[in-house]
Amino acid sequence: MTPEQAIKALRRKFRCQRTVGLSPILGITDQYLSNWKKSPAVSAKHLVNIVKKARDAGIKEGQTVQIQALLEYYPISKTLTSHDKKYRILDKKILRHQKIITCLEEHQGLYIFYDSMYVPIYIGRTKRKDLWFEMNDAFNRERNQEVRRVNHPRTGAGFLPAYESHRQIKKITVKLHEIATHISAYAISKRHNSAIEALLIRSMANVCKNVKMENL
């Protein structure tokens, strides 16, 4: 087996979009990984060193709660996709958004949606997919979130003032993409991901719209 074949197998196993994403997982530097990739074959020395470094990195991660802020209170740019008629939280045509998307694709962790008053309305975490996938999935998912709203006519050009055309303020069910305006995303070690999500949801139980109350 060549180092390049080994790296490809490791990227599939750890769901890394880019090779550099393996460095923190294996406990090695990007330069070490680059040099190893250029080697003609996987030597016993390289294999032993990487196993040891990966073990040391695992022990270190288990002893610390690793949290990295990736994006905080960032405005959503609601974009409708052409192929599946679903909404994305960012516009892939914008260069800055492309870089943010790449960052989110490389990490797993926890994310928060806020309303226009910057109040948290939904907290979620990644399970098998990356942050970009999970956040867009939550953005479009059917859920029991209710708001009070007046249903106004969507066709025609006529208008009558409210005192002439009485319309009730009613509770309606909405999707997250109808009420969320800002997002935050954090890279969190898998070991602590679910516990931190549960803590946040439980501490903001009367604020967030999460249906499921996670257990600690």
Contact present, 17 and 106 (Cβ < 8 Å): yes
- Name residues whose C-beta falls within 8 Å of residue 143's C-beta, 6 or more positions apart in sequence: 175, 176, 209, 211
Cα–Cα–Cα angle for 32, 130, 101, rounded to 5 degrees: 85
Q: Are residues 38 and 76 in the same domain?
A: no
Q: pLDDT at position 180, please?
A: 93
Q: pLDDT at position 63, please?
A: 61
Tell me how far apart the alpha carbons of residues 181 and 97 are, in angstroms, rounded to a whole number.
15
Domain contains 156: no
Q: pLDDT at position 69, please?
A: 95
Domain contains 74: yes
Domain contains 211: no
pLDDT below 50 — which residues of the chain?
Answer: none
Domain contains 161: no
Domain contains 159: no
Tell me how far apart the alpha carbons of residues 167 and 17 are, in angstroms, rounded to a whole number.
51
Domain contains 208: no
* Residue-range definition of the domain harbouring residue 115: 67-148+169-203
Pick the last residue of a domain from 63, 79, 108. Answer: 63
Q: What sections of the chain are H helices per DSSP?
A: 3-14, 22-26, 30-37, 44-63, 95-105, 131-140, 176-179, 190-203
**CA neighbours closer than 13 Å in the CB half-sphere of residue 79:** 15
**Model confidence pLDDT, tens digit, residues 92-139:** 999 999 999 999 999 999 999 999 999 999 999 998 899 999 999 999
Domain contains 164: no
Pick the last residue of a domain from 44, 63, 82. Answer: 63
Q: What Å distances lie between residue 134 and 3, 30, 49, 90, 127, CA to CA?
A: 31, 27, 34, 13, 8
Number of independent structural domains in the chain = 2
Q: Are residues 47 and 78 in the same domain?
A: no
Pick the last residue of a domain from 63, 78, 110. Answer: 63
Q: Are residues 93 and 188 in the same domain?
A: yes
Q: Are residues 25 and 81 in the same domain?
A: no
Domain contains 209: no
Q: Are residues 74 and 176 in the same domain?
A: yes
